Amino acid sequence: MLVAALAAGGFAGTERHAHAGGVSYVALGDSYSSGVGSRTYYESDDECYRSPAGYPALLSAELGGRLDFQACSGAGVTAVRVNQLDALDAATTHVTVSVGGNDAGFARVLTACARPWPYTCWDEIDSAKTVITESLPGRLDTLYAEIVERAPNATVVAVGYPRLFNGEQCNLAAQITPSEQAELNATADLLAEVTGDRAAAHGLGFADPREAFLGHAVCDSAEWINGVSYPILESYHPNRTGYARGYVPVVADRLAAGVPAA
């Protein structure tokens, strides 16, 4: 159930491009772009769980213009390429894209790590790292090149993921040990390194939210990330505060810079 729920995902009725000369913002990616974890979603029949409390909707309100909200929960690189890139064209002015976590199988890894003793998730973590280092760079290269080709006049920002854990165990429904938490955070760091490197290679900015979420992980006194939640779909995603205070400032800064991160 946890795998299915974490990988599920959307919002129907996406907005199309702005009028000529205005802001035309296209939000691409997975559940961290669609706004899963916020518990508030647009009515839809596409199971993408797009939220008015996700960072694309909040950023769009700041940017003005109109939002073409393509991000869909459960999307990997291939799904973004096949299902979301038609929204891009020469009139697109801003693009954000978060993707890679589903390619690495993070839902499966977290499900394995949540099992009680004596079960462990070291094999699943190792498999995720192998995908991140061996397969994901090529997939991102193809995706980023296509985005740049389809939206040649846009400021494009790849958006990363926060570290989820602080080493504490506060939820009996998920028996993730401190050592497993540390390794999961290290895997998030590896994903950030690969994503930022490939983004820079294609002239994209990289919005890295890890520092913004320090002190706000699962089990922190001021959580910006949900632990195991009901419905299970909300688990291990930012909550409303996480999107508003963790993601929006970081992504907005990268979009405003208009150049790759150093």
Q: Could you read off the pLDDT of 12-67 as tens digits, one per residue?
A: 334 433 344 589 999 999 999 999 999 999 998 789 999 999 999 999 999 999 99
Mean confidence (pLDDT) of the chain: 90
* pTM given for the model: 0.89
Mean pLDDT of 209-230: 96
Mean pLDDT of 131-158: 98
Tell me which of 17, 94, 216, 237 is the catalytic residue: 237
What is the structure's pLDDT at 44?
84
Domains in the chain with CATH codes: 24-257 (3.40.50.1110)
Distance CA 60, CA 248 (A): 10
Q: How far is CA 225 from CA 28, 76, 162, 211, 214, in A?
A: 21, 21, 9, 14, 11
Q: Could you read off the pLDDT of 71-85 as tens digits, one per residue?
A: 999 999 999 999 999
Tell me which of 17, 24, 31, 33 is the catalytic residue: 31
Percent of the chain with pLDDT over 90: 81
Q: Could you read off the pLDDT of 209-218 as tens digits, one per residue?
A: 999 999 999 9
Q: 205 or 260: which carries more pLDDT confidence?
A: 205
Tell me, yes or no, if 31 is annotated catalytic: yes
What is the structure's pLDDT at 6?
39
What is the structure's pLDDT at 64?
92
pLDDT reading at 197 higher than 60? yes
